[in-house]
């Protein structure tokens, strides 16, 4: 070889080494930017933001996870949320830096210098697409397992020093305990990976590593648990309570999406798993290990992405890309690129249904990954207190928007919106499962109820009915409703759908309803509800059959639906969650909103129109039955305190005498309708004893086009007496959109009147006031019988 050729070869190796070093450095920087919160989020209002703020505040108030707080997330939740709190900032940084270090070691161990191209692709993938924190945590566990596999291969060939391999494995196995303290459901995946690594090391006769694969994750959990300020005595409860949370999630949170996304994911996953076998002609234990870790990873990502099949599907898709890239790092076959390419195409198909993953989108994400980190570092160098200042400003914004008063004593808020309460400056005293939609099972529901009946019950409750996914409204924390009705009284109902409750001076420690009927019924059967003046409580023990149990383990079973029929004949349908029903809920009256719940504290005549006559339960769809046909039904009565005067709580619209007989307006002059009377569409004959609520919209024709009117509800009886109920404005953007006139967004109206002073049959009409004259827009379509209800089965 000539000197020129030697010089060229040396330069080529030098440039290649520099290039591969740069790629590896890029990978390290990218991982640091993703894991370490250089520019953390700040608290905000809303459902998800509320539990994020709540997890941080729980640490700040030294609450015990597993006892005081039982939720999907653990004491290191901030590593997942990247949300700043002065009390958890150092904890978030510790967990994030440690995970970033372990992730970097594992990634560099898998993607060696010879595979610099894969390192570049993985860096760009992380920077552009891994905005899902679930995907990042999931991918970490697969990297640990794949590193264990590669370590055994390197030891066989002797191409690397055993000491360096063992050191890398010790760090990776030790870090496997932290994800379970970030998100409790990671216990399943981390535990499975730990056990599979143990079996691999046993088969390869690596006794020390086999012991460490079980001991190090457990030691890590204990270490990080103690560092977070938690007591070791609470750790078993934290682990045990993840059982009902994980088992109840599938039924409670399932959501139906596009079936084609599921088939794309399953097909790509099957091809990848088949590709693992194609890489080895002869069977070896480590080959089965490799197949197992990918199968477990892909299966749990499938469950995480498609049980609640909405934007969560992107998490499964991103995990599939991760699996494909790690697959390339541990296998060598001509078909590998084709297998990985298929997985990536399937993933982009899924992701594109939620976000448009074009070049501009990917470029934006890449730029943001690095610039946000740079901006955060720069801010910290310029002002060491900038995070505390942003935190204070964010909390103050929440406080001003929610505008909650300072209440004496401790306070909890239902069903979520913890951010509003914490930011207000009130002393937060949460129930164990702090957001009501997460009370998936009977045991969790009872924990929340017992908190209200215990010595540490909050002095105040800020209450809202806010069901998720069109669930039956009384389901979420429904087991606690008897305790709320017995031990608290309402003090204020605000226009923002919040009912303020204060603890009674002498609260009862027992709010258990009394059984009045018990029987076995069947799916699809019409079940009569006892005719009682007081609210009726029901417990339903609906169980999946064997096929349903298998469906829940492998994916999800069919949803249940409840159809309730009111005494007036109207019907409503809602989603039913079996895990919520066993501990019980109020079936009658039908409580659909916060205002309805407040009525339960008053005289029963105010919710007369919402009494449920009967209900039936069916599987939503599908030829295959996932549920046992028979189920038990227990009806119970509630022993409630004397009713309060609702006039002190509700602002009822006045009922006045008409000064003159209303006149009929020309038909062409009016646009509008009565949509609902006492929550249901108007019929020819209706009845009420105390409350009359009328909703709808009205506009009048003018030379400039339709304009919002001043609606009034007109009642007159056969004696010629005319009563008027003046309405309030209710926003109706649907009307403005339909008639292409933004002014008509204010055409909605609502009247909420106490008509207990009236008696007899009244014609109900819609009218409007013009000057001092009331004009009828709509002839009487309904006769409302107003009078006291006098017959009950319990009287």
- Predicted pLDDT at 717: 86
Q: Report CA-CA distances (Å) from 783 to 408, 682, 685, 779.
A: 47, 9, 5, 12
Which of 520, 532, 540 lies closest to 567, judged by CA? 532
Q: Tell me, what DSSP letter sits at residue 644?
A: P
Q: Report CA-CA distances (Å) from 226 to 182, 229, 317, 448, 520.
A: 14, 5, 35, 26, 49
Q: Tell me, what DSSP letter sits at residue 73?
A: B
- Predicted pLDDT at 346: 96
Q: Provide φ and ψ at 578, rounded to 5°.
A: -60, -35
Return contacts of 295-299, CB within 8 angstroms, 24+ apart. Answer: 296/189, 296/192, 296/193, 296/196, 297/138, 297/141, 297/142, 297/145, 297/189, 297/323, 298/269, 298/272, 298/273, 298/323
Contacts of 660 (CB under 8 A, 6+ apart): 773, 774
Residues in the chain predicted with pLDDT less than 70, given as ranges, are: 1-16, 113-114, 158-161, 279-283, 509, 623, 703, 778-781, 788-795
Contact present, 628 and 545 (Cβ < 8 Å) = yes
Supply the pTM of this predicted model.
0.89
- Predicted pLDDT at 791: 41
Contact present, 304 and 134 (Cβ < 8 Å) = yes
Distance between CA atoms of 72 and 188, rounded to whole angstroms?
13
Contact present, 369 and 39 (Cβ < 8 Å) = no
H/E element holding 653?
none
H/E element holding 746?
none
Q: Report CA-CA distances (Å) from 696 to 20, 724, 735.
A: 69, 16, 10
Contacts of 151 (CB under 8 A, 6+ apart): 109, 165, 168, 169
Helix, strand, coil abundance in the chain, percent, nearest 5: 50, 20, 30
- Predicted pLDDT at 98: 96
Evaluate the omega torsion of the peptide bond into residue 734 and state whether it is cis, within 30 degrees of 0.
no
H/E element holding 595?
helix 594-599
Distance between CA atoms of 94 and 100, rounded to whole angstroms?
10
Distance between CA atoms of 748 and 773, rounded to whole angstroms?
21
| Strand ranges in 244-403 using DSSP code E only, listed in sequence order | none
Taken in order 336, 341, 343, 344, the sign of the CA dihedral is: positive
- 32-50: burial string, b at 16+ Cβ within 10 Å, e else: bbbbbbbbbebbbbebebb
Q: Which two tokens stand for residue 594?
A: 């916060």
Distance between CA atoms of 503 and 411, rounded to whole angstroms?
10
Contact present, 510 and 476 (Cβ < 8 Å) = no
Q: Provide φ and ψ at 39, rounded to 5°.
A: -130, 80
Q: What is the pLDDT of residues 309-346, one digit of tens each?
A: 999 999 999 999 999 999 999 887 778 899 999 999 99
- 202-215: burial string, b at 16+ Cβ within 10 Å, e else: eebebeebbebbbe
Taken in order 420, 423, 427, 432, the sign of the CA dihedral is: positive
Contacts of 693 (CB under 8 A, 6+ apart): 676, 677, 678, 679, 750, 751, 752, 753
- Say what angle helices 133-157 and 313-330 make with each other, to 10 degrees: 10
Taken in order 283, 288, 290, 294, the sign of the CA dihedral is: positive
Q: Which two tokens stand for residue 256?
A: 């139906």
Q: Report CA-CA distances (Å) from 581 to 79, 242, 251, 467, 484.
A: 34, 20, 12, 14, 18
- Predicted pLDDT at 86: 97
Distance between CA atoms of 144 and 518, rounded to whole angstroms?
53
Contact present, 736 and 675 (Cβ < 8 Å) = no
- 780-790: burial string, b at 16+ Cβ within 10 Å, e else: beeebebbebe
- Predicted pLDDT at 794: 39
Q: Report CA-CA distances (Å) from 740 to 38, 706, 736, 744.
A: 47, 10, 6, 8
- 560-586: burial string, b at 16+ Cβ within 10 Å, e else: bbbbbbbbbebebebbbbbbbbbbbbb
Distance between CA atoms of 600 and 610, rounded to whole angstroms?
11
- Predicted pLDDT at 285: 75
The three-state secondary structure class of 21 is: helix
Burial environment of residue 84 by CB neighbours within 10 A (0 to 12, 13 to 18, 19 or more): buried
Q: Which two tokens stand for residue 82?
A: 């990247």
> What is the pairing mode between strands 655-657 and 560-566?
unpaired
Distance between CA atoms of 606 and 643, rounded to whole angstroms?
11
Distance between CA atoms of 122 and 100, rounded to whole angstroms?
15
Q: Which two tokens stand for residue 207?
A: 């006794």
Q: Provide φ and ψ at 487, rounded to 5°.
A: -105, -5
């Amino acid at each position: 070889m000539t000197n020129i050729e030697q010089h060229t070869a040396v330069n080529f190796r030098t440039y290649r080494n520099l290039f591969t070093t740069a790629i590896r450095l890029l990978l390290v920087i990218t991982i640091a930017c993703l894991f370490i919160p250089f520019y953390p989020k700040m608290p905000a209002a809303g459902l998800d933001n509320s539990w994020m703020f709540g997890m941080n505040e729980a640490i700040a108030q030294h609450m015990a996870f597993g006892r005081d707080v039982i939720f999907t997330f653990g004491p290191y939740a901030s590593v997942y949320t990247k949300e700043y709190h002065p009390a958890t900032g150092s904890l978030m940084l510790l967990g994030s830096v440690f995970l970033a270090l372990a992730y970097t070691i594992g990634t560099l161990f898998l993607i060696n210098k010879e595979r610099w191209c894969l390192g570049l692709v993985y860096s760009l993938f992380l920077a552009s697409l891994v905005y899902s924190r679930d995907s990042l945590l999931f991918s970490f566990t697969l990297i640990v397992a794949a590193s264990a596999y590669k370590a055994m291969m390197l030891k066989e060939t002797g191409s690397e020093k055993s000491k360096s391999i063992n050191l890398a494995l010790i760090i990776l196995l030790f870090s496997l305990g932290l994800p379970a303290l970030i998100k409790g459901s990671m216990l399943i995946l981390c535990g499975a990976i730990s056990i599979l690594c143990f079996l691999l090391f046993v088969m390869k006769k690596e006794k020390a590593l086999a012991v460490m694969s079980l001991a190090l994750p457990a030691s890590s959990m204990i270490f990080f648990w103690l560092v977070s300020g938690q007591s070791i005595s609470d750790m078993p409860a934290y682990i045990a309570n993840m059982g009902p949370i994980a088992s109840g999630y599938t039924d409670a949170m399932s959501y139906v999406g596009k079936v084609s996304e599921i088939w794309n994911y399953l097909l790509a996953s099957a091809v990848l798993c088949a590709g693992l076998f194609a890489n080895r002609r002869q069977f070896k234990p480590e080959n089965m290990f490799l197949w197992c870790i990918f199968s477990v990873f892909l299966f749990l990502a499938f469950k995480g992405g498609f049980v609640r099949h909405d934007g969560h599907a992107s998490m499964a898709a991103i995990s599939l890309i991760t699996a494909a890239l790690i697959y390339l790092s541990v296998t060598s076959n001509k078909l590998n690129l084709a297998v990985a390419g298929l997985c990536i195409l399937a993933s982009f198909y899924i992701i594109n249904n939620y976000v448009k993953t074009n070049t501009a989108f990917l470029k934006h994400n890449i730029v943001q990954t690095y610039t946000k980190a740079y901006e955060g570092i720069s801010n910290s160098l310029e002002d060491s207190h900038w995070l505390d200042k942003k935190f204070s400003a964010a909390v103050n914004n929440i406080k001003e928007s929610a505008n909650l008063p300072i209440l004496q004593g401790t306070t909890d808020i239902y069903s979520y919106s913890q951010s509003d309460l914490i930011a207000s400056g009130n002393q937060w005293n949460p129930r164990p499962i702090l957001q009501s939609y997460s009370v998936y099972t009977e045991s969790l529901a009872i924990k929340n109820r017992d908190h209200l009946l215990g010595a540490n019950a909050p002095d105040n409750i800020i209450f809202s009915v806010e069901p998720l996914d069109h669930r039956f409204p009384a389901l979420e924390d429904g087991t606690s409703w008897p305790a709320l009705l017995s031990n608290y009284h309402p003090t204020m109902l605000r226009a923002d759908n919040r009912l303020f409750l204060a603890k009674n001076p002498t609260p009862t420690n027992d709010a258990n309803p009394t059984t009045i009927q018990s029987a076995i019924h069947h799916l699809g059967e019409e079940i009569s509800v006892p005719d009682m003046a007081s609210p009726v409580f029901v417990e339903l023990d609906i169980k999946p059959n064997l096929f349903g149990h298998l469906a829940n383990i492998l994916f999800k079973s069919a949803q249940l639906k409840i159809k309730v029929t009111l005494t007036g004949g109207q019907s409503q349908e809602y989603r039913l969650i079996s895990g919520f029903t066993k501990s019980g809920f109020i079936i009658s009256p039908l409580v659909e909103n916060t205002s309805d719940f407040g009525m339960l504290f008053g005289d029963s005549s105010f919710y007369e129109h919402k009494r449920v006559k009967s209900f039936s339960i069916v599987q939503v769809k599908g030829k295959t039955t996932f549920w046992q046909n028979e189920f038990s039904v227990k009806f119970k009565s509630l022993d409630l305190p004397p009713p309060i005067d609702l006039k002190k709580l509700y602002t009822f619209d006045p009922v006045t005498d008409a000064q003159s007989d209303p006149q009929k307006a020309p038909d062409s002059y009016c646009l509008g309708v009565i949509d609902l009377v006492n929550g249901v569409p108007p019929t020819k004959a209706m009845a009420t004893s105390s409350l009359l609520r009328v909703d709808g919209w009205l506009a009048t024709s003018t030379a400039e086009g339709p304009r919002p009117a001043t609606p009034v509800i007109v009642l007159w009886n056969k004696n010629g007496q005319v009563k008027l109920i003046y309405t309030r404005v209710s926003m109706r953007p649907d009307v403005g959109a339909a008639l292409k006139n933004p002014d008509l967004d204010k055409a909605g109206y609502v009247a909420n009147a106490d008509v207990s002073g009236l008696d007899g049959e009244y014609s109900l009409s819609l009218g409007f006031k013009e000057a001092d004259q009331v004009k009828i827009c709509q002839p009487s379509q309904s006769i409302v019988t107003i009078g006291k209800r006098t017959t009950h089965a319990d009287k």
